[in-house]
A = this chain, B = another copy of it.
Amino acid sequence: MSEKQTVRLLDPLFTTDSMREIFSDRRRLQGMLDFEAALARALARAGVAPDASVAPIVAQCSADRFAMDVLAREAALAGNLAIPLVKALTAAVAKSDAQAAGFVHWGATSQDAIDTGLVLQLREALDLLQRELAQFSSPLARVAEKHQSTLLAGRTWLQQASPVTLGLKVAGWLDAIHRHQARLANARREVSTLQFGGAVGTLAALGDKSPAVAAALASELKLQLPSIPWHTHRDRFAEVATRLGLLVGTMGKIARDISLLAQTEVGEVLEPAESGRGGSSTLPHKRNPVGSAVVLAAAIRVPALVSVLLTAMVQEQERGLGGWHAEWETLPEIFLLAAGALAHLTHVVDGLEVFEEHMTHNLGATHGLILSEAVAIALAKHIGRSPAHQLVERAAHRALQSGRPLRDLLLEDQEVRARLSSAEIDGLLDPRNYTGSAASMIQQVLADEKKNR
Contact = CB atoms under 8 A, between A and B. Distances in A.
B155 A318 contact: yes
Contacts of A307: 303-304, 306-307
B102 A445 contact: no
Interface string A255-298: 11101101111100000001111111111111111101111110
5 contacts: A10-B329, A102-B386, A199-B280, A256-B315, A284-B396
A198 to B, nearest CB: 7
Nearest to A183: B239
Determine the main DSSP class of A at the interface with B. Answer: helix
Closest 4 CB pairs of A and B: A296-B322, A249-B313, A154-B200, A156-B319
Interface string A161-177: 11111001101110110
A6 B9 contact: no
Given A154-B317, A161-B199, A266-B265, A10 B235 contact: no
A245 B306 CA distance: 10
Interface residues of A, number: 190
Contacts of A116: none
Contacts of A392: 284
Given A155-B318, A161-B199, A321-B157, A12 B101 contact: no
A297 B281 contact: no
The winner among A74, A294, A437 for most chain B CB atoms within 10 A is: A437
A436 B202 contact: yes
Given A78-B278, A202-B164, A302-B310, A386 B318 contact: no
Nearest to A94: B386
A289 B157 contact: yes
A122 interface: no
A71 interface: yes
A249 B204 contact: no
A205 B436 contact: yes
A311 B316 contact: no
Interface string A134-157: 000000000000000000011111
A233 B172 contact: yes
Nearest to A257: B317
Contact of A179 (B86, B235, B318, B435): B235
A286 B326 CA distance: 22
Nearest to A268: B265
Interface in A196-236: 198-207, 210-211, 214, 226-230, 232-236
B159 A204 contact: no
A233 B199 CA distance: 35
Interface stretch (A104-112, A348-356, A410-418, A419-427): A104-112
Nearest to A76: B12
Interface in A82-106: 83, 86-87, 90, 94, 98-99, 101-103, 105-106
